[in-house]
Structure 1
Amino acid sequence: MADVKKACVDSLGVAALGKTPKEAQNGKDFYKFFFTKHPELRKHFKGAENFSADDVQKSDRFEKLGTGLLMSVHILANTYDNEMAFWGIWVAFLESKGASLSGDQKGAWDKLGTRFNEEAQAQLAKHGLPHT
């Protein structure tokens, strides 16, 4: 598990979390990437179904969402050793930011995503909610 954590945390260097304008931009950059590369998923963002990357850049909403997402991923990566469609998108985003991810790092993100999904599905089942 420590190898998965290290690989994931190390790859987050290109998407730092913080309060500086550069760090705040990382969250917006994810949504710019997401809306450009996966326009079919914009329908899940009420009021932003037709947003372009330029619209995301100007949006306080997506700055806040992006910062929240980055914080969540950083926390998830940093707490992995304390006991999946999204992860492929996330890895591609890191690469679009200039990360040169090794096979081990990509595999680590895949493992982290698999584990996250297993836990999420178990919690959904536990609460009688739809799950796979």
Structure 2
Amino acid sequence: MGRWLPAVLGVLLLSACGAGPTHALPPTMAPYVPPVDCGTFAIPGGQRDLVSPAMPAGTAACDEAFKVLTSYYRDAPRLAQGTARRLVVSGWTCEADIDDHNMNQVGCDKNGLAFVTQRVRA
């Protein structure tokens, strides 16, 4: 019986290894969700497209984005802080920058959602 024990143990070990997957399954990919084009927004000196990019938390509602931007442009000259012109509006943290055409662009985020202004596409 002593000579069969190693053979039986070897068979048990090998059969246990093949009982199921031995590697982690790849993560599932979320389906592609395109950004939402909310339309144009008038800013001092011109117009910008308002876009809500698809984030893991979803997309920002366009009507809320328009309201936040209206408040931002009204209040930023008096209340925004720092070179990024940071201002919190209705819980949205907004910052401004100058794009490559020397036009103001604003981005805001809140709870994993975001929206941005960008140059109007032709």
TM over 0.5: no
Higher strand proportion: 2
Structure with the larger RCO, 1 or 2 (CA within 8 Å, 6+ apart): 1
Normalised by the length of structure 2, the TM-score is 0.28
Higher helix proportion: 1
Normalised by the length of structure 1, the TM-score is 0.27
- The higher radius of gyration belongs to 2
